[in-house]
Amino acid sequence: MVRDIDTDAASAHEMFQSFEGMEGLPVTGPVRRRPLSLEAFARSVYPGVLVALTIALAASWLSQHYNAPVMLFALLFGMTFHFLHEEGRCVAGIEFASKAILRTGVALLGARITVEQIIALGPVPIAMVVAGVTTTLLVGLLLARMLGLSRSFGVLSGGSVGICGASAALAIASVLPKTKESERDVILAVVVVTTLSTIAMILYPMLVTAIGLDHQRAGLFRGGTIHDVAQVVGAGYMISPQTGDVATYVKLLRVAMLLPVVLTIALVLSRGRAGQSGARVPMPLFLFGFAALVALNSLHLLPRPAVDAAGEISRWCLVVAIAALGMKTTFKALIAAGWRPVAVMGLETLWIGGLVLAVVEWLT
């Protein structure tokens, strides 16, 4: 079975004479692919991973000091180092970080969720979240078709808006078909959803106050609409501990929707490709890791320090991965995409906001 890390290493090996030197000299003849030892593999990927980690550290420091989204800093810094992905010793590590490290971070998100937390919300919030995620995905597909964008971008944008922002975009992208525009679409989705989430974090408290929602319903609204987990927490506890707790639980329920959504996308793609070529697409293993951690945490088999550690490692993995993705694209490619992706995600944000507000006002 071919793994991502094998594919990435082999691709980088074809571009350069060897992993030992990697002096940037083009290959003049066919390269025989051989399985790499663990030591050789580590030696091949560490330069690119080290660069991505350095960018992640810088982005995290700036995020803490200027109270801005760390994902956005990591993306922008990564894009300024795009030349490292064009050739040189960092290619293999950047590919590894954008795939294997990304999937590790998504899998570890499962340690933050328990079935008990989901059940405690009651039937209305659960139905609200399921309806919000499902309809936002459908709205994304519809808008993408109307504006001449790919179905992949419709799914990617709808999932990122409906579920959990940049983390959902990265998870969904890992199972979507790879095209020449796919990585640009991921970067676009992350940039736009992070910006929209920041705007929502600023505007929604004023909206909640103007409407006169109590602490419980304000938590339901914020947790059901704001895209990024960290911004949900910040916006919730800005009002009261009760609002923060409710908002966090609702948001974690949306994060839990990652598993069925990504699994469904993978199954649909697998069946479609099997009908075309007779070859089945392997199911992404990180989803099973996600589900296993949810189960272990629900059974209280994970000690609190392990849960906290998994959450912190997951955060760092995702920031490193987004830095690597940034290095794989350019500002020129983003500008060339035009206004339509932004319009799609803006309308998706309005849709889920209106839907959740209607449920909070009329059904709670």
At residue 356, the pLDDT reads 94
At residue 220, the pLDDT reads 92
Q: Is 185 exposed, middle or buried (0-12, 13-18, 19+ CB in 10 A)?
A: buried
At residue 206, the pLDDT reads 82
**pLDDT beneath 50, residues of the chain:** 1-32, 277-281
Which H/E stretch holds residue 315?
helix 304-327
Work out whether the CA dihedral 141, 143, 146, 151 comes out positive or negative. Answer: negative
At residue 188, the pLDDT reads 86
User: What one-letter code names the amino acid at 152?
Assistant: S
At residue 140, the pLDDT reads 95
pLDDT tens-digit map of 151-186 = 999 999 999 999 988 888 888 988 888 877 888 888
Work out whether the CA dihedral 318, 320, 321, 322 comes out positive or negative. Answer: positive
Long-range CB pairs of 154-159 (<8 Å, 24+ gap) are: 154/344, 155/265, 156/185, 156/186, 156/189, 157/189, 157/192, 157/193, 157/341, 157/344, 157/345, 157/348, 158/348, 159/133, 159/261
- Rounded (5°) CA angle 261-306-298: 50
At residue 354, the pLDDT reads 94
Three-state SS for 84?
helix
Three-state SS for 330?
coil
Neighbours of 202 (CB within 10 A): 11
Whole-prediction pTM value? 0.71
